[in-house]
Chain A
Amino acid sequence: MFTVGIDLGTTTSVVAYIEDGAPKIVEVDGGKITTPSVVSYVGGQPIVGREAILNGNSSAPLFSMKRLMGSDEKVAGKNAVEVSADILSHLKRITEAKVGKQIDSAIITVPAHFSDLQRTATKQAASIAGIKVLRLINEPTAAALAFGIDKNKNGVFAVYDFGGGTFDFSVLRLVDGIFQVLATGGDNYLGGDDIDNKIAEYNFQKQGINKKELSEKDMIAAHLVSKLMKEQLGESDSVHKKYIYDGQEFDFELTADLLEKFAEELIRKTLDISTQVLKDAKIHSIDGVVLAGGMTKSPLVKRVVRDFFKTQIYDDLNPEAVVAVGAAIQADGIVTKNKNLLLIDVVPLTLGIETVGGAVDKIIHRNTPIPIVEKREYTTYQDNQTGIKFRVVQGERALAKDCRSLATFELSGIPPMPAGMPRVIVEFGVDVNGLLNLKAYEKTLGISQTITVEPSSGLSNDEMISILQKAFENAEVDAEKSKEITIQIECERMLKFWDSLLNDLPEQAHNEAEQKLGELSNALKKKDFTEIVKLKTILENIYGQYLDDIISARLSGKAISDIQEKQLCK
Chain B
Amino acid sequence: MECKESRNYFEFFDVPASFNVDEAALTLAYLRKQQQLHADGDVDDAETTFLNSAYKTLSNPISRGEYFLKLQGIDIDAMPTEAAIEMFELREQYDALQNDEDREHFQLELEKKNELTIEKLKETSDLSEFAKIFCVLRFINSFLEKVRTDVYSRD
Also in contact, A344 and B34, with CB within 8 A (given A368-B52, A431-B45): yes
Q: Return chain B residues, CB-CB under 8 Å to A396.
A: 149, 152-153
B13-50 residues at the A interface, CB under 8 angstroms: 31, 34-35, 38-39, 41, 45, 48-49
A277: min CB distance to chain B, Å? 13
A3: min CB distance to chain B, Å? 17
Give B72-105 as 1s and 0s: 1 = Cβ < 8 Å from A's Cβ atoms: 0000000000000000000000000000000000
Say whether A369 contacts B31, CB under 8 Å. no
Q: How far is B55's CA from A402's CA once the two chains are assembled, in angstroms?
A: 31
Q: Return chain B residues, CB-CB under 8 Å to A178.
A: 31, 34-35
Give B54-66 as 1s and 0s: 1 = Cβ < 8 Å from A's Cβ atoms: 0110000000000
B32: min CB distance to chain A, Å? 9
Give A364-390 as 1s and 0s: 1 = Cβ < 8 Å from B's Cβ atoms: 000011111110000000000000000
Select B45's contact among A337, A374, A397, A432, beta carbons within 8 Å. A432
**Residue A180 CB within 8 A of the other chain:** yes
Also in contact, A397 and B34, with CB within 8 A (given A371-B45, A372-B56): no
**Residue B53 CB within 8 A of the other chain:** yes
**Residue B70 CB within 8 A of the other chain:** no
Q: Return chain A residues, CB-CB under 8 Å to B39.
A: 339
Say whether B45 contacts A368, CB under 8 Å. no
Say whether A342 contacts B149, CB under 8 Å. no
**Residue A175 CB within 8 A of the other chain:** yes
Q: How far is B149's CA from A180's CA once the two chains are assembled, in angstroms?
A: 26
A519: min CB distance to chain B, Å? 49
Q: Return chain B residues, CB-CB under 8 Å to A180.
A: 31
Say whether A342 contacts B34, CB under 8 Å. yes
Q: How far is B38's CA from A373's CA once the two chains are assembled, in angstroms?
A: 19
Q: Return chain A residues, CB-CB under 8 Å to B52.
A: 368-372
**Residue B150 CB within 8 A of the other chain:** yes
Q: Return chain B residues, CB-CB under 8 Å to A75.
A: none
Q: How large is the interface on A (under 10, 10 to 19, 20 to 34, 35 or more residues)?
A: 20 to 34
Also in contact, A371 and B153, with CB within 8 A (given A178-B34, A339-B39, A342-B35): no
**Residue B122 CB within 8 A of the other chain:** no
Give A404-434 as 1s and 0s: 1 = Cβ < 8 Å from B's Cβ atoms: 0000000000000000000000000101100
Q: Provide the main secondary structure of the chain B interface.
A: helix
Give B111-155 as 1s and 0s: 1 = Cβ < 8 Å from A's Cβ atoms: 000000000000000000000000000000000001001101100
B1: min CB distance to chain A, Å? 10
The interface on chain B, measured as residues whose beta carbon lies within 8 A of the other chain's beta carbons, has a size of 18
B114: min CB distance to chain A, Å? 12
A156-187 residues at the B interface, CB under 8 angstroms: 175, 178, 180
Say whether A373 contacts B34, CB under 8 Å. no
A335: min CB distance to chain B, Å? 13
Q: How far is B45's CA from A529's CA once the two chains are assembled, in angstroms?
A: 45
Select B38's contact among A339, A402, A429, beta carbons within 8 Å. A339
Q: Return chain A residues, CB-CB under 8 Å to B41.
A: 337
Q: Return chain A residues, CB-CB under 8 Å to B149.
A: 396-398
Interface-centre pick from B34, B45, B52 (highest chain A CB count, 10 A)? B52
Q: Residue on B with the closest CB to A344? A: B34
Interface-centre pick from A339, A344, A431 (highest chain B CB count, 10 A)? A344
Say whether A398 contacts B53, CB under 8 Å. no
Q: Return chain A residues, CB-CB under 8 Å to B150.
A: 398
Q: How far is B31's CA from A544's CA once the two chains are assembled, in angstroms?
A: 47
Q: Residue on B with the closest CB to A431? A: B45
B24: min CB distance to chain A, Å? 11
Say whether B38 contacts A372, CB under 8 Å. no
Select B152's contact among A342, A374, A397, beta carbons within 8 Å. A397
Q: Return chain B residues, CB-CB under 8 Å to A339.
A: 38-39
Say whether B153 contacts A373, CB under 8 Å. no
Q: How far is B33's CA from A342's CA once the two chains are assembled, in angstroms?
A: 12
Select B53's contact among A175, A342, A372, beta carbons within 8 Å. A372
Q: Residue on A with the closest CB to B45? A: A371
Q: How far is B52's CA from A398's CA once the two chains are assembled, in angstroms?
A: 26
Q: Residue on A with the closest CB to B152? A: A396
Also in contact, A371 and B48, with CB within 8 A (given A398-B150, A398-B153): yes
B94: min CB distance to chain A, Å? 14
Select B49's contact among A175, A372, A399, beta carbons within 8 Å. A372
Q: Return chain A residues, CB-CB under 8 Å to B34.
A: 178, 342, 344
Q: How far is B146's CA from A374's CA once the two chains are assembled, in angstroms?
A: 21
Q: Return chain B residues, CB-CB under 8 Å to A372.
A: 49, 52-53, 56
Q: Return chain B residues, CB-CB under 8 Å to A429.
A: 49
Q: How far is B54's CA from A373's CA once the two chains are assembled, in angstroms?
A: 11
Q: How far is B29's CA from A126's CA once the two chains are assembled, in angstroms?
A: 37
Listed in ascending order, the chain A residues whose CB lies under 8 Å from chain B are: 175, 178, 180, 337, 339, 342, 344, 368-374, 396-399, 402, 429, 431-432
Listed A/B pairs (16) with beta-carbon separation below 8 Å: A175-B31, A337-B41, A342-B34, A342-B35, A342-B38, A369-B52, A371-B45, A371-B49, A372-B49, A372-B52, A396-B153, A397-B149, A397-B152, A398-B153, A429-B49, A432-B45
Besides the contacts A371-B45, A432-B45, what 17 more A-B pairs have beta carbons closer than 8 Å?
Answer: A175-B31, A178-B31, A178-B34, A342-B34, A342-B38, A344-B34, A368-B52, A369-B52, A371-B48, A371-B52, A372-B49, A373-B53, A374-B53, A398-B146, A398-B149, A398-B150, A399-B153
Minimum-distance CB pairs A-B, first 7: A398-B149, A369-B52, A339-B39, A342-B38, A371-B49, A397-B153, A372-B52
